[in-house]
Amino acid sequence: MARLLIKLENGADGEIELLDNKFIEFWKMVFLRHKSHIPFRHSDRKEKYCGHKHQVWEKTQEEVKNWYETETLELKQKLVNRVNTAIDGLHEENIQWTRGKLDIHCNKADCNRLHRGFTTLSFTHLWTDNIPMTSGQIRSIKNRYLNMNSHNCWPYQFEALPGFELPPSSRPITKAGGYAKKVEKCYEYLHEINAAVHNIEDKCLYNPRREILRQHYYNFYDVQCMLTPNLDWNAKLEDGVTDSMHLDWNFESALNQAFASVVPGIEQGCNVWDLKNILGKDYETCYRDSDNPINLDITNTVGTTKGGFTINAVYKNLYDTILEPWLESFGKVEHKAMYFPIPVGKIDERFIKQHFTIKGGYDQGKQIKSKMIPGDEVHGVASERAIVEVDLIE
């Protein structure tokens, strides 16, 4: 059985046992290809840790809410201006945009509306920013055609749906030789919208569901901070969201085995997952943003992999206790594999407890003020746990 040997910044090393299936064979190929010429993402960052930190906040939720509402307005206005300028650019290129704009008072629902315009124009290759589909039609697509990245996905799979009418196209039509440049410019505007909207959501909007998720992570091991580290590639643009080069590889040939491996992987206790690599939102993010999980751009995979991974021992419990009840409120949960990341393998839970948790001053749901680690120091501890080397052993 193949293994990944990982080394952390603090010198600790661990071992990930990989699953044995056709998807993992494809994943290993992508991992080795990228590893040969692209550094890990944290290499040029001041804070080396790459992943998420789920930590206890010393502030009360009322204090947190007040901070977002008073201290982020200047940044929010700059981000709103970026979004609206990019939308103006799409209009100048005669690209259909029916999702409106943002203002300083924008909320999660506004951000969800614009983000859906970005994903729809991207999925349809600039055809339209709105696909008029019923919930039943969307479920049909998601249940039988999970690879939204396939070259023949749009519009053919949609046209096959009963009652579906293809909306008018807004694809750019130019004189000979100008099409490619025009398309490239349009995608630059779309990526600008996407990056700025995500920054508004993450940095400028108070979100009580973010705290619900955060608590679920750090309470899982009763620690001040729970880390879910990533192995990602150092290929982001300055916006920190968009990849600057082609990293995602379409694993359509291994699609069936990838999804077939999810439930057995869960049963085997897998806690290492394929790195999130999607155009829209995964289900955890969808829950956090109070979005509608039925939408076409809500998924844990679009049928591509970057050959990276996330170590997350909490996701199954999170799904069972928070995500599944929430999903069922929108209708029966079908194909459980759709709502999980694709499993890559398993690392010893003792390694996770020792290196990816920070006990600090948190015990049985209470803060012990004398032992609480200041937030800035938590960042430093997390950096010492960063994954700095990964080697594949066959």
Strand partners, 228: 52
Query: 167 by DSSP, 3-state: which?
Result: coil
Give residue-wise pLDDT tens across range 248-279.
Answer: 888 877 777 888 899 899 999 999 999 988 87
Are 324 and 335 within 8 A, CB to CB?
no
Do 94 and 195 fall within a single domain? Answer: yes
Q: What is the pLDDT of residue 30?
A: 94
Give the C-alpha separation, 187 to 207, whole Å.
29
Number of domain units in the chain:
2
Burial class (CB in 10 A: 0-12, 13-18, 19+), 180: exposed
Give residue-wise pLDDT tens across range 202-216.
Answer: 999 999 999 999 999
Do 239 and 104 fall within a single domain? Answer: no
Give mean pLDDT, residues 132-145: 79
Do 185 and 275 fall within a single domain? Answer: no
Give residue-wise pLDDT tens across range 366-388.
Answer: 888 888 888 878 888 888 899 99
Q: What is the pLDDT of residue 318?
A: 96
pTM reported for the whole predicted model? 0.89
Do 279 and 313 fall within a single domain? Answer: yes
Mean pLDDT of the chain: 87
Containing structural domain, residue 326: 3-64+208-393
User: Does 149 map to a domain?
Assistant: no
Do 177 and 235 fall within a single domain? Answer: no
Count of other CB atoms within 10 angstroms of residue 388? 15
Give mean pLDDT, residues 49-68: 88
User: Does 148 map to a domain?
Assistant: no
Give residue-wise pLDDT tens across range 107-138.
Answer: 999 999 999 999 988 888 888 898 888 888 88
Do 368 and 274 fall within a single domain? Answer: yes
User: Does 56 map to a domain?
Assistant: yes
Do 287 and 174 fall within a single domain? Answer: no
> What percent of the chain shows pLDDT beyond 70?
91
Q: What is the pLDDT of residue 391?
A: 96
Q: What is the pLDDT of residue 162?
A: 77
Q: What is the pLDDT of residue 22?
A: 92
Do 379 and 364 fall within a single domain? Answer: yes
Do 269 and 368 fall within a single domain? Answer: yes
Q: What is the pLDDT of residue 153?
A: 64
Do 194 and 235 fall within a single domain? Answer: no
Burial class (CB in 10 A: 0-12, 13-18, 19+), 208: exposed
Q: Answer yes or no: is pLDDT of 147 > 80.
A: no
Do 318 and 180 fall within a single domain? Answer: no
Last residue of a domain, one of 178, 203, 228: 203
Confidence of residue 43 (pLDDT cuts 50, 70, 90): very low
